[in-house]
Amino acid sequence: MKLDSKIPEGPLSEKWTNYKAHQKLVNPANKRKINVIVVGTGLAGASAAASLGAMGFNVDIFCIQDSPRRAHSIAAQGGINAAKNYQNDGDSIYRLFYDTIKGGDYRAREANVYRLAEVSNNIIDQCVAQGVPFARDYGGTLDNRSFGGAQVSRTFYARGQTGQQLLLGAYSALSREIARGSVKLHERHEMMDLVVVDGRARGIITRNLVTGELERYAAHAVVVASGGYGNIYYLSTNAMNSNGSAAWQCHKKGALFANPCYVQIHPTCIPVHGDYQSKLTLMSESLRNDGRIWVPKKKEDAEAIRAKKLKPTDIPEEDRDYYLERRYPAFGNLVPRDVASRAAKERCDAGYGVGTGLAVYLDFADAIQRLGRDVVEARYGNLFQMYEKITADNPYETPMMIYPAIHYTMGGLWVDYELQTTIPGLFAAGEANFSDHGANRLGASALMQGLADGYFVLPYTMQNYLSDQIYVGKISADTPEFDKAEAEVRDRMNKFLEIGQNATEKHTVDHFHKALGHIMWEYVGMARNVESLNTAKKEVAALEARFWKEVCVPGKAEEFNPELEKCYRLADYFELAKLMISDAMHREESCGGHFRTEHQTEDGETQRDDQNFMYVGAWEYQGHDVEEVMSKEDLKYEYITIAKRNYK
């Protein structure tokens, strides 16, 4: 398929201005006649629905939780980037753009990222106007902190709960529109399928999670803002209910899926402690502002610590290896996430890990001595408390133990400059699309992207699409396409419920999900190679075959049935896993979060192959168990000099 990214004409800094000046609009009287569906109420979905509703469109918004405020954006801790340059430290739109492209290992689209940097400042203004209580300095102005991959302080924050406060801001704007009647909220509703009529996205089939009823919603356009697919690994920092199914249904209906193998592994999470574990908890990247990461220099010390014969505080300064400061003197503990994660894995694999052997220290002793306990508490108090509640260790007295964990997926539905997928009328926003982070996302950029897409991009670009939709009239949900989609969903539900009834060997959904997660983490995780990917391919196929014969789901489809929900989401993960493996296999280079052990420099850094792989790989679904077909979108860098990504 030929991919047209629809990048506007003109110099980089004028593209967005030019686009807005020449795009088509919908007049206020006509907006009332247009229906839009938004799936997901995280930062991207809530902000898009609130903005579109305020403009006058009729919006239906859906979430799987009991309230829009529960979307997983709420768990983002550290902050949101913007190029305000309030600190006078040399920041600018260009620098934020440059850092984001470099952080993404030169695998993101220039024009999209520049626009993101451009609107970043509007986001901060918007959120403050809503009453988001960002941290402030004594003079009453906004405060900033530093994040990985940048040499300026451009991150705005609200203690360790920035995502929560930004989401509540978007939720409040959304609530206002719901009260005004422009947005209709459907909580505990899950999108089960996308309905395409004459090649355009025209609606969705949903399942009411309380009653199990299938419902139909028709609209002139559909926005999917359903987040990422990190839970494919079972253990991740994602919420339990986060899933990739809404996006995957769009993919099955013809939307291309881009760069599925780009997965972000966050370096600072609480390590795994047992096989009953259900999720991994993130410790904010902001901790790396003041925390120093180390492992013992001597193997025998590491062994003694693992055997609980030595405590970290027993290790003298000269016997500690602050390996990030050693390897990357320029960025030190603030190297980007992929670099920090790999460095931790390298030390642990070499036998220097602490705890269970799969952990390193994040130490605040220096910061407490330098700044005083009060200052450290004011900055990170809630994170320290959270850590103590989980581990029963006091980080003021002993270093935290951390290890990398799956956190974010850069891959997602392919979108053009307008955030439109390859299905006309279907848009994707936030983590659900692939567009802005390349092969690795910088910290505090997910919140920026979600809100940029929802507040400042979609409200413009969707109008360009909707301008000719005023002629088509109301879209009916009573058509053969809706009938067919609904029948397929119903059959699928029934199939899942039947498997267990007839099976001799039965297993729960979680049994299969844990097994899939294990395969993905071992063979398609932090380090990949031909051999591991081949193993993964075989094991996923075998596991999927067993799943379709042995999975056991209790109860009925027409009732509140969380096991059934988990089951249909897992079925999609099996297909997605196979696609991730194919994508990782074909990309014979290392870039960002995708590390192929065959392609590394002598000192263990990623080795890109710009000659052959400077493109976006977008995959097209061909049917169950049929190898997907890839199309390329070549990445052209006109305003940035490609360089080796160096943080030394």
Q: How far is the CB of 129 from other proteins (least distance, A)?
A: 4
Residue pair 461/256 in contact (Cβ under 8 Å)? The answer is no
Residue whose C-alpha is closest to residue 365's, from 401, 402, 399, 394: 399
Among 12, 80, 152, 168, binds other proteins (CB under 8 A): 168
Among 176, 184, 546, 549, binds other proteins (CB under 8 A): 176
Residues from 69 through 88 that contact other proteins (CB under 8 A): 69-70, 72, 74-75, 84, 86
Active site residues: 337
Residue pair 557/494 in contact (Cβ under 8 Å)? The answer is yes
Q: How far is the CB of 343 from other proteins (least distance, A)?
A: 25
Among 20, 22, 32, 136, binds other proteins (CB under 8 A): 136
DSSP assignment of 405-425: EEEEE--EE---TTSB-SSTT
Q: Which residues of 613-642 are buried (b: 16+ CB within 10 A; e: fewer)?
A: bbbbbbbbbeeeeeebebbebebeeeebee
| Residue carrying the six token digits 């934020």 | 96
Binding of other proteins by 590 (CB under 8 A): no
- Backbone phi, psi, residue 357, to 5°: 105, -20
Size of the site for other proteins (CB under 8 A): 80
Among 30, 175, 398, 631, binds other proteins (CB under 8 A): 175
Of the listed pieces 144-152, 164-172, 190-198, 324-332, which binds other proteins according to CB under 8 A? 164-172
Of the listed pieces 98-106, 159-167, 540-548, 590-598, which binds other proteins according to CB under 8 A? 159-167
Among 51, 120, 153, 286, binds other proteins (CB under 8 A): 51
Angstrom distance (rounded) from CA 4 to CA 18:
18
Binding of other proteins by 239 (CB under 8 A): yes
> Hey, CA dihedral for 12, 13, 14, 17, is it positive or negative?
positive
Binding of other proteins by 392 (CB under 8 A): yes
Angstrom distance (rounded) from CA 60 to CA 178:
10
Of the listed pieces 299-307, 325-333, 385-393, 633-641, which binds other proteins according to CB under 8 A? 385-393
Q: Which two tokens stand for residue 494?
A: 């029934």
Q: How far is the CB of 460 from other proteins (least distance, A)?
A: 10
Q: Which two tokens stand for residue 410?
A: 């850069």
Query: Which is closer to other proteins, CB of 5 or CB of 73?
Result: 73
Query: Which is closer to other proteins, CB of 306 or CB of 511?
Result: 511
- Backbone phi, psi, residue 408, to 5°: -155, 150
Q: How far is the CB of 389 from other proteins (least distance, A)?
A: 5
Binding of other proteins by 389 (CB under 8 A): yes
**Long-range contact list for 529-537, CB < 8 A, 24+ apart?**
529/596, 529/597, 529/598, 530/585, 530/598, 533/581, 533/584, 533/585, 536/577, 536/581, 537/578, 537/581, 537/585
Residue whose C-alpha is closest to residue 10's, from 110, 152, 148, 145: 110
Map residues 113-132 to x or -, x wherever contact with other proteins holds by CB under 8 A: ---------x-xxxxxxxx-
Binding of other proteins by 66 (CB under 8 A): yes
Any bridge partners for residue 356, and if so which?
Answer: none
Binding of other proteins by 385 (CB under 8 A): yes
Residue pair 39/465 in contact (Cβ under 8 Å)? The answer is no
Within 10 angstroms of residue 340's Cβ, the number of other Cβ atoms is 29
Among 21, 198, 276, 626, binds other proteins (CB under 8 A): 276
Residue whose C-alpha is closest to residue 429's, from 630, 228, 631, 245: 228
Binding of other proteins by 41 (CB under 8 A): no
Map residues 626-645 to x or -, x wherever contact with other proteins holds by CB under 8 A: --------------------
Q: How far is the CB of 221 from other proteins (least distance, A)?
A: 18
Binding of other proteins by 210 (CB under 8 A): yes
Binding of other proteins by 141 (CB under 8 A): yes
Among 6, 89, 184, 187, binds other proteins (CB under 8 A): 187
Among 10, 329, 381, 554, binds other proteins (CB under 8 A): 554
One-letter amino acid of 280? L
One-letter amino acid of 423? I
Residue pair 383/263 in contact (Cβ under 8 Å)? The answer is no
Binding of other proteins by 50 (CB under 8 A): yes
Binding of other proteins by 173 (CB under 8 A): yes
Among 11, 139, 473, 480, binds other proteins (CB under 8 A): 139
Binding of other proteins by 240 (CB under 8 A): yes
Binding of other proteins by 241 (CB under 8 A): yes
Query: Which is closer to other proteins, CB of 478 or CB of 505?
Result: 505
Among 7, 54, 365, 371, binds other proteins (CB under 8 A): 54
Within 10 angstroms of residue 501's Cβ, the number of other Cβ atoms is 9
**Alpha carbon separation from 29 to 55, 177, 469 (Å, rounded):** 11, 18, 13
**Alpha carbon separation from 75 to 167, 259, 287, 297, 392 (Å, rounded):** 9, 25, 16, 35, 21
Query: Which is closer to other proteins, CB of 240 or CB of 542?
Result: 240
Q: How far is the CB of 554 from other proteins (least distance, A)?
A: 5
Binding of other proteins by 467 (CB under 8 A): no
Of the listed pieces 30-38, 192-200, 437-445, 559-567, which binds other proteins according to CB under 8 A? 559-567
Residues from 480 through 519 that contact other proteins (CB under 8 A): 506, 508, 510-511
Angstrom distance (rounded) from CA 180 to CA 187:
18
Query: Which is closer to other proteins, CB of 67 or CB of 612?
Result: 67
Binding of other proteins by 161 (CB under 8 A): yes
Map residues 277-316 to x or -, x wherever contact with other proteins holds by CB under 8 A: xxx-xx----------------------------------
Residues from 409 through 428 that contact other proteins (CB under 8 A): none
Q: How far is the CB of 246 from other proteins (least distance, A)?
A: 16
Contacts of 501 (CB under 8 A, 6+ apart): none
Query: Which is closer to other proteins, CB of 276 or CB of 471?
Result: 276
Query: Which is closer to other proteins, CB of 159 or CB of 437?
Result: 159
**Alpha carbon separation from 301 to 218, 326, 352, 365, 520 (Å, rounded):** 64, 19, 8, 19, 32
Q: Which two tokens stand for residue 167?
A: 């989401």
Binding of other proteins by 61 (CB under 8 A): no
| Beta-sheet pairing, 629-634 with 320-321 | unpaired
Binding of other proteins by 272 (CB under 8 A): no
Tell me if residue 554 falls in helix, strand or coil: coil
Query: Which is closer to other proteins, CB of 74 or CB of 618?
Result: 74
Binding of other proteins by 28 (CB under 8 A): no
